[in-house]
Amino acid sequence: MAVISGDGVFSHVFLGAVDTAASAKFYDAALGALGIRNLGSFGDGWVLYGREKPAFIIARPGNGAPPTSNGVTIGFAAASPAEVDAFHAAGLANGGTDEGAPGPRSHLPGAYAAYLRDPAGNKVCTYTFTDGN
């Protein structure tokens, strides 16, 4: 059993995927643009991501049912607008689809973000905050 520990409020986030290889290709590129790396596989096809320790996991759901994520968005922190842009471009180039191009977000002062759907249909985004809108 792996010990999963992350920073902040959550110990980890788990997203289901039918094709973990396609999802891993997407996340290797998109999260790599944010300095988050693939830490390797564990168990039955789990792929672990983090900066130093696992905090984000993709795998087939344990109950064998298809993964669903309607209404769920996972947000990753970016250090700069350039990282947001790189995340979006890398995700699109590796099987993702656009859910919101990089740019300012009027609902949060100083927010700069981008949204994607991963190959399994999960909605992910990245945000950074600047001094102004």
Instruction: Classify residue 3: in a domain, yes or no.
Output: no
Distance CA 32, CA 47 (A): 14
Mean pLDDT of the chain: 88
CATH of the domain at 17: 3.10.180.10
Do 78 and 34 contact (CB within 8 A), yes or no?
Answer: yes
Residue 5 lies in a domain: no
Q: What is the pLDDT of residue 5?
A: 40
Does any domain span residue 6?
no
Query: Does any domain span residue 4?
Result: no
Give yes or no for residue 112 having a pLDDT over 70: yes
Q: Does residue 8 sit within a domain?
A: no
pLDDT band at 42 (very low <50, low <70, confident <90, very high): confident
**Domain that residue 101 falls in:** 13-62+71-129
Q: Report if residue 7 sits inside a domain.
A: no
Checking if the pLDDT of 120 tops 50, the result is yes
The total of structural domains in the chain comes to 1
